[in-house]
Structure 1
Amino acid sequence: MKIAVAGTGYVGLVTGVCLASKGNQVWCVDVDETKVELMKQGISPIYEPGLSELMKEHMDALTFTTDYRSAYKDADVIFIGVGTPEKKDGSANLAYVYTVAGQIAESIEKDCIVVVKSTVPIGTNDKIENFLRAKVRRDVNVFVASNPEFLAQGTAVRDTLHASRIVIGVENPEAGEVLKKVYENFDAPKMVVNRRSAEMIKYASNDFLALKISYINEIANLCETVGANIEDVSAGMGMDPRIGNRFLNAGIGYGGSCFPKDTKALSWLAAFNDKEIKTIKAAIEVNDSQKFKLIKKAKKYYDSFEGLTVAVLGLTFKPGTDDLREAPSLVNIPILLEDGAKVKAWDPVGVANYKKYYPTEIEYCKTIDKALEDADICFIFTEWPDVKNMDVALFEKKMKCPIVLDGRNCYPLDAFKDVHIIYDSIGRPVVDYLYLDR
């Protein structure tokens, strides 16, 4: 069948390429001509492991275009995978979704199913279907389905091809059967529910994971006070199958395009309906505060950053992506700069995006060694493999004063037994071997 996908960001492009890999003819539509020309050459405009390779392998099944009319007019299924960014009040901005819906309405020439894959507030799919039926220009039937994505940046291809579940939200049984046919070759359990339940599954899932992260970070902060080790606590908790061991890694908070936006959106939606989800509200507050954890720790060692050389390892919100959205580096580095620090930063893929914020104010280093050279203190914001696997003796060897603040607990505490260092992480005892003679 012919499938069209509106939007070639993380959701849209990954969805389109994965559908093409399963034998479908897929038209990927975007308004950005530069991106489209890149994709026509088999070049992915986004950094996502495995995506470029899969894309090149199935170019014969992929068409990239800015011509939405030709893409939509005879499509059997049209996926909407455009962004729903956060508004200032925390609600979801649906402008891009409605723009695409309007284009679909003016273009389709046959019965089709419009699948909203973008994360949208509960009830949006109902409104989109009413909008389409009011705007459609020809005598055709159009049905709207909700099909939320559950991919994570850095593992998006695997998460799509081998999803934990495929949720199909429909009011029309025939539409559900068509979508089950679309996904028949995907290695994942499939569940069909009504549209509002599908929309809620997406928000409830993401917000629950955000809750786990904020909860374990609060426990980690208490561990520092009472002398417990959060890694032992997390391990003990994770052995209980009712809890599980995922999303129990303490750190400096969650970031990215999903958790921050989706927690705020659900909290806004509840308030709009005269409800309050107190747990979600608390998770947001905890996460906002947790991002500054390393700055607070640094004040134990320096009253001011004025004149200090600060090494920063990791700029992106997580490893495996060049995405900076809600990254802790974006709120910490401005404080360092305003306080007079010289910042030397390393990241394997995030530098180009970071330069859009700070083109000249930061010294960007091509190696970890160079970033650490003559530094008075080091902040670890992202747990890149290069950081986790490095020889920790480099901290002592390269830094002027080896004080390392690790926001991602990259190293076991016993890794520093032969290193003169202060190593201060999250929820664990501080390693202070800086002035210890051996």
Structure 2
Amino acid sequence: MKHFDVVIVGAGSVGVPLAWQLAARGLKVAVIDQEASWGRGQNRAAIGGVRATHSDPAKIRICLESIEIFSSLKSKYGLDVEWQPGGYLYVAYDEATEMQFRSLLKKQKTAGLEIDWISPEKIARLAPGIRTEGLLGGTFSPYDGYASPLMAATAFHKLALDAGVLFFFNRRVESIRKADNTIISLTAGQEEFSAEFFVNAAGAEAADIAKIAGFDIPVFPDCHEAGVTEPVERFMQPMIVDIRSDAESGNYYFYQARTGQVVFCITPRPQIWGRDKDSTSTFLPICVRRMIELYPRLRNLRVRRTWRGMYPMTPDGLPIIGYPDMAINFLQAVGMCGQGFMMGPGLGHILAQTIMAGGSHANPAGATEYNFIFDEFSINRSFDHAELLK
């Protein structure tokens, strides 16, 4: 039997930053993952965007924390993750989209997000060559940005190791032992791990882990693809997001990394449920067509590669954060809906504070101000919410 204060299942976008934050506060922490190393699940499939531009106030608060962490990794710890504060730009080419964006501004600003409506002229300066015909303007949040998911995962892993976290890779959770509604231990790789607290941060496998513990959570992976071009001289600053949809796809988004590559992704229509990681022949023609329609200047870039990952989705597109009734010491930090990379560091910081402040099933936030996160993302909610800026 191996004994710890906290055992985390999942060495990805949420689990590794949370482990670091807990160990830095003096707890003995173990992280268990079925993969061979950290960040090999959905973390390495992320395209790197980090935005606090959401339509949900709790997500705004979490991601503002993430931005603070990403932007200070180099100055505080000497760890370069290619952080670039280029901002997020949501463009509007029709009045309905403009009204939607403008209606969110007050809520977003109240939650602490620095964002405003900008003119087509300013958009053209931020993204030279974007199609201005029919462009009505857009919202721009200058402190959002992007970073390298691979470099960030390695940075958080190093910080966690330095803080004393023990990682156990190539370990699949086989069984979970309970006494009534409390987890006593779990077995992974034929070793048994006991702890006061357990955390499910298993991404696309989160529902599988919950089922072993005797309860269900509505987390269902769907498949998304992304791509990257050759590097070229920097010519645009923000991540550009177009939320319009057509018969084949929903929103799409792209940015130019600090090192010059253009990274891009699109939401397929209909959703493709499952865990298939093989690239398809349909993604690139659909995504490239829409990107070139919006930004003709991209026409001559050469695509280096494409890849596919999974969004661990919930019915309403919001995470599940909290302690289930069937396992009251098993914190669920799951269902990030493709936003684990941008939410993970901030969520890890917040959850570590709640655990250290006495957070529990009866009082998840402990002696902190974060009740709203557990209320809004409760496992027992109705899941009838619809977030505009998913």
Q: TM-score, normalised by structure 2?
A: 0.29
**Structure ID, larger Rg:** 1
- Higher RCO (CA-CA < 8 Å; seq separation 6+): 2
